[in-house]
Amino acid sequence: MMHLIAPSILAADFGNLQKDIELINNSQADWIHVDIMDGMFVPNISFGFPVVSAVNKHAKKPLDVHLMIVEPDRYLQRFKDAGASHITVHYEACPNLNRTIQVIKELGCTAGVALNPHTPVSLLEDIIIDLDLVLIMSVNPGFGGQHFIENTYKKLKDIKELSSRQNPGLLVEVDGGVDEHNAATLFAAGANVLVAGNAVFSAPQPLSVIAALKQSGLS
């Protein structure tokens, strides 16, 4: 089973972003998670295309772009052009989700759908066969540093059961409150990809934290 780590640069030092990107490059991380917020879908604003392009200029790992925005279809091409390898949109923001997923795939990107904590996995039943990735939000989206929502484990069980029937190769990502204390349990519950922000960039030794998170998938 694949076990990937995707540090979230939402928790990085924006004044020294190149330094933190190079830190990820030199770590055991697999992807660089990039949270895009528009101040409408979530009550916060992060960054847009110029910053994503700047990150891509220095990144040696794939950019895992998580769109927490309304009307994401308007910007899929631009995020691809900025350097996204993986594009995840929110179920709650996409009234024509099948078409959105199709466009992401036509752009040559991994196509993902994110679910907010209150959104049940069952709503993906009619589209899961077309997805490359499902992102389970284990906090309410918009801000880093929140406490992990325990119901996430049930949702992992639900998505594992659903994907085993229709899409056994589906990647399952968890974002929010991930750290060294719950990483092994999340992997054991069925997650393939863990996003970690504060746990990495607030640590005295970020490289050691990333290594520990990676190792938790092997234990």
Catalytic residues: 35, 175
> Largest Cα–Cα distance of the chain, in whole Å?
46
Q: Is 42 helix (H, G, I), strand (E, B) or coil?
A: coil
Q: 58 near 18, Cβ under 8 Å?
A: yes
One-letter amino acid at 89 equals V
Closest CA to 141 of 63, 65, 35, 64: 35
Q: Is 110 helix (H, G, I), strand (E, B) or coil?
A: strand
Q: Is 39 helix (H, G, I), strand (E, B) or coil?
A: coil
Q: 36 near 66, Cβ under 8 Å?
A: yes
